[in-house]
Structure 1
Amino acid sequence: MGITDEIRESHLPTASLFTGTGKKKYPSKKFSHTRDNDKGAQRSFITEKLAEKLKLKPNGSDTISLAYFGGKSEQYRHIPTGRVFLHVQHREIIPLDVLIVPTIAVPLPNLQRNVKCLKYIEGLKLAHRITDIDDDFEISLLIGADYFWQIVQNKVVRGNGPTAVKSKLGYLLSGPLPEVKNASSVSYMFNVVTAPPNATDLERFWKLESMGILEDDTEKSTSGILNEYKENCITYKDGRYVAKLPWKEDHSVLPTNYEICKKRTENTIKRLSIETDILKNYGQIIEDQLKRGFIEKCDTNVTTSNPVHLIPHHYVKKDSNTTPIRIVYDCSCKSRDQPSLNDCLMSTPPELNDLIGILIRFRMNKYAIATDIEKAFLNITLDENDRDVTRFLWLSDPSNPNSELTTYRFRAVLFGATSSPFILCATILKHLELNNDKKASKYLRQDLDVDNVISSFQQEEQLLHFYTESRELMSSAGFNLRSWSSNSKMLQKQAINDSVIDNAQTPKILGMKWDTNSDVLLYPVRNIPNTQIVTKREILQHTSRIYDPLGLLNQVTIRAKLLLQELWQQKFEWDMPLPDSIQEKWRSLITDLNSVTKTTFPRYYFENT
């Protein structure tokens, strides 16, 4: 059972952060203590933005399991690690081993002004100076239980409000704030629980070997919902499909969310105004969506009988030359005791094709292709009655950060709603079913994975016919098949002429890579270092990064899984140096794993027949 003590802090004037190569003052935004009875769950985080300012270079990576409040599953993440040094009072330096992540949390409000009148904290040197500024702040550094108690000290001051706890940074405030009349009632909960995969995951760890063999009961339970939705909630109009949002029965009343959305949008703009290039790109993305009919401006003076709800948004950086940022719409934003948009929508999983079957069919025939649907979600029109719950605010003049806010709303299915993957899946399936007389429909139906298609054909004429027919078929629904890759020179030439060729030399194929010139499949290169001290965490970290859906590397990867099973059975701690005998086994495995992941193999099963 985890316990979280949350400390709202926005500035740490007494602390400095620096790396081993140099020192740089930088105020952290918030400390949150997360304690769990599993040592693997005690982790600290730093954002990529702060790490970049500190010129922090990763010194490795860790595999952790992330579980979300109310979630029914875990996600495994491989996160780079680094070390920073916290310079506190009395010239003490505390080294912090941190996980480097793009974002720790959405911006949070600064509520410190509410404690200004509390007599019992007068005279205390707070870690966070009291001001009247109400700006939201981003969390740049999150200190977990691994270092929290090195900072917190014994003295506690209590009163009619938050408790003041002495620390090496100054007094930290934690607990309920005094109630303020006429204050907006917004509740924020922030809790991070991380852990390496535990012993209960061992069965799932081995189940990868059964992919495509064991029957999935999930499909049976959701097929009825899918068929009902296709029949009643999707229509075809003016060359595009129109979809309704799949609302939960008897869901709570959705609030407008205007105040919290306005506040968060203003803070997003304030951050963007510092980085003018990103502000310009942000505005261009919204302008492009407006021109393409994905969004539209709202006349707020016109009353509507439909529910109205506003969604805040922010950006995340992408490792891409063409699209350096992506705008993220927070459909989970909520106020106290009121639901978010995602709370009111069904979260039925989409009906996906079997991954192993797709890969096997991809290797069955002489000529192969790979393509994907451009902006798949945005090419499905959102039903008129549901559009007002997707409103958002943006600058009337994107070149002027001080211009007034304008209200927009989505005309298309937005990426960020919990039901969007389900809507996309249902829409494509309905379109293919309505056109099942076309050969391309059959191939698309069986070889589609969300918005990616990979398939193969024995004759080059069949391949070229599929290229033409599939593009026409999907275009009739408003979808554009782009980024075509093939080992066929004729198809490559045609795709170049149609400006839909994928220029990557080795395009990604469901986690693997495909060299279309030599027609071979290969694995992403992941060289495992031979370290002096080996731990269970390190072994799991490296072995779980090898993605082998077809099981072609099983002769080696199963040995790694057997070694991990042995470590779990002997109950070794995550960061305890392992016995010499096990370290020798692992070093032998490193050589084989590094060698086997450089293996290439023919994409076509029968190339020599």
Structure 2
Amino acid sequence: MIQRFQESITFRDGKYHVQLPWHADKLALVPSNHAIALHILDRVVRSLEKKGLYQEYVFLQQQQEGIIEEIQVDPQNFADYVWIPHRPIFKTDSAATTKIRPVFNCSLKVGGSASLNEVAYSGVKMTGDMLDLLMSFRSNKFVLLVDIRKAFLMVRLALEADKNRFCFFVKDGDRLQCFHYATLIFGFTSSPFILGSILKFHAAQYPFDECRVAIENQFYVDNLMMTESDPAKLVRLYSQVRRRLQEGGFVV
């Protein structure tokens, strides 16, 4: 399965595209979940409208960036798609630019059915060992932490069938809108494995040097940790890492 997934990785239009690694024999066990997704949406809308916050709980920016796509689905065909409930979480950090963001429940189980996370291949560990990364802090004087902006959302889905397993509802007044994700999402069990695989794949496109080693081995999910005793060398390495990641469609 790992080889089949790795062979599906392609780079086009400035982004990496993948086919998701599913346990194909279990996919049929995932129900549509449209009824519960609609029920939870109504509850979320009522709660946020009472607080005067619903207009802040929008997906406009993600739609503009091509992360989500609006789809036209007749209600009688809802059962042909997989719908994921979402709810808001609130950020109280004064530095946060987005105070409310949605969280999607890919582990939703109804009765004896399977969840999306249960039928997806979670993969092998692709990120750096946290203990090794922390120990490197003790051997060098300077530490640089680099975070990839919206890392999962920068990885595109190659197949419409995969996109249609990440559908969700939004209310615009009395109008029900249907969307699906065109990217990986937070909360999906395969996302860390996929991101790690792509980072290693991308690093391997360059000559073997310190920058390649850093990208291949010093990421913990979407956070790169680098240490050095020479701050000038650390700055140079950061510039190289940043440039190469940008060439792969990732922004730090």
Amino acid at match of 1:393: F
2:79 equivalent to 1:310: no
The Cα of 1:242 is off from its aligned counterpart by 0.7
Within-5 A mapping of 1:191-202 = none
Task: Show the counterpart of 1:467.
Answer: 238
Task: Show the counterpart of 1:270.
Answer: 46
Are the structure 2 counterparts of residues 264 and 368 from structure 1 closer, same or farther at C-alpha, using a change threshold of 3 Å? closer
Distance in 2 between the 1:326 and 1:349 partners? 29
SS in 1 for 2:87: strand
SS in 1 for 2:26: coil
The Cα of 1:438 is off from its aligned counterpart by 4.8
Asked whether the equivalents of residues 82 and 167 of structure 2 are also in contact (C-alpha less than 8 Å), the reply is yes
Asked whether the equivalents of residues 127 and 217 of structure 2 are also in contact (C-alpha less than 8 Å), the reply is no
Task: Show the counterpart of 1:383.
Answer: 158
Distance in 1 between the 2:27 and 2:208 partners? 43
The Cα of 1:364 is off from its aligned counterpart by 3.1
Within-5 A mapping of 1:442-591 = 442-481=213-252
Asked whether the equivalents of residues 363 and 456 of structure 1 are also in contact (C-alpha less than 8 Å), the reply is no
Amino acid at match of 1:318: K
Distance in 2 between the 1:412 and 1:431 partners? 18
Of 259, 269, 292, the match for 2:65: 292
The Cα of 1:471 is off from its aligned counterpart by 0.8
Question: Runs of 5+ in structure 2 lacking a partner?
Answer: none
Amino acid at match of 2:135: I
The Cα of 1:269 is off from its aligned counterpart by 0.9
Of 258, 278, 287, the match for 2:34: 258
SS in 1 for 2:163: helix
Are the structure 2 counterparts of residues 229 and 450 from structure 1 closer, same or farther at C-alpha, using a change threshold of 3 Å? farther
Of 181, 194, 208, the match for 1:423: 194
Task: Show the counterpart of 1:356.
Answer: 131
The Cα of 1:272 is off from its aligned counterpart by 1.3
Distance in 2 between the 1:357 and 1:478 partners? 28
The Cα of 1:469 is off from its aligned counterpart by 1.1
Asked whether the equivalents of residues 349 and 421 of structure 1 are also in contact (C-alpha less than 8 Å), the reply is no
Are the structure 2 counterparts of residues 273 and 473 from structure 1 closer, same or farther at C-alpha, using a change threshold of 3 Å? same
Amino acid at match of 1:444: I
Asked whether the equivalents of residues 229 and 426 of structure 1 are also in contact (C-alpha less than 8 Å), the reply is no
Asked whether the equivalents of residues 243 and 383 of structure 1 are also in contact (C-alpha less than 8 Å), the reply is yes
Amino acid at match of 1:240: K
Task: Show the counterpart of 1:593.
Answer: none
Distance in 2 between the 1:272 and 1:366 partners? 47
Distance in 2 between the 1:438 and 1:295 partners? 36
**Residues 357-405 of structure 1: per-residue CA shift (max 9 Å, x gap):** 212333434443221111111011112231011110002x3xx4xx211
**Residues 39-73 of structure 1: per-residue CA shift (max 9 Å, x gap):** xxxxxxxxxxxxxxxxxxxxxxxxxxxxxxxxxxx
The Cα of 1:230 is off from its aligned counterpart by 5.0
Distance in 2 between the 1:365 and 1:239 partners? 35
Task: Show the counterpart of 1:346.
Answer: 121
The Cα of 1:436 is off from its aligned counterpart by 4.2
The Cα of 1:309 is off from its aligned counterpart by 0.9
Are the structure 2 counterparts of residues 462 and 315 from structure 1 closer, same or farther at C-alpha, using a change threshold of 3 Å? same
Asked whether the equivalents of residues 378 and 413 of structure 1 are also in contact (C-alpha less than 8 Å), the reply is yes
Tell me which structure has the larger Cα radius of gyration: 1
Distance in 1 between the 2:192 and 2:219 partners? 13
Amino acid at match of 1:320: D
SS in 2 for 1:276: coil
The Cα of 1:428 is off from its aligned counterpart by 1.3
Amino acid at match of 1:453: L
Distance in 2 between the 1:366 and 1:333 partners? 45
Distance in 2 between the 1:471 and 1:229 partners? 29
Distance in 1 between the 2:108 and 2:201 partners? 31
Q: TM-score, normalised by structure 1?
A: 0.38
Of 200, 203, 206, the match for 1:435: 206
Distance in 2 between the 1:327 and 1:249 partners? 28
Asked whether the equivalents of residues 362 and 454 of structure 1 are also in contact (C-alpha less than 8 Å), the reply is no
Task: Show the counterpart of 2:92.
Answer: 319
SS in 1 for 2:194: helix
**Residues 296-325 of structure 1: per-residue CA shift (max 9 Å, x gap):** 100225xx9xx6211111112333222333
The Cα of 1:452 is off from its aligned counterpart by 1.2
Distance in 2 between the 1:256 and 1:451 partners? 31
The Cα of 1:229 is off from its aligned counterpart by 4.9
Asked whether the equivalents of residues 236 and 242 of structure 1 are also in contact (C-alpha less than 8 Å), the reply is yes
Asked whether the equivalents of residues 5 and 19 of structure 2 are also in contact (C-alpha less than 8 Å), the reply is no
Task: Show the counterpart of 1:409.
Answer: 180
Distance in 2 between the 1:332 and 1:368 partners? 36
Asked whether the equivalents of residues 5 and 20 of structure 2 are also in contact (C-alpha less than 8 Å), the reply is no
Task: Show the counterpart of 1:241.
Answer: 16
Q: TM-score, normalised by structure 2?
A: 0.87
The Cα of 1:437 is off from its aligned counterpart by 3.6
Asked whether the equivalents of residues 230 and 426 of structure 1 are also in contact (C-alpha less than 8 Å), the reply is no
**Residues 526-569 of structure 1: per-residue CA shift (max 9 Å, x gap):** xxxxxxxxxxxxxxxxxxxxxxxxxxxxxxxxxxxxxxxxxxxx
Within-5 A mapping of 1:94-133 = none
Amino acid at match of 1:274: K
SS in 1 for 2:183: coil
SS in 2 for 1:434: coil
Distance in 2 between the 1:320 and 1:347 partners? 31
2:181 equivalent to 1:393: no
SS in 1 for 2:25: coil
The Cα of 1:445 is off from its aligned counterpart by 2.1
**Residues 389-445 of structure 1: per-residue CA shift (max 9 Å, x gap):** 1110002x3xx4xx2110000011011112111111111121112224453121222
Are the structure 2 counterparts of residues 446 and 282 from structure 1 closer, same or farther at C-alpha, using a change threshold of 3 Å? same
Q: Larger helix proportion, structure 1 or 2?
A: 2
Task: Show the counterpart of 1:32.
Answer: none
Amino acid at match of 2:201: K
SS in 2 for 1:268: helix
Aligned residues: 245
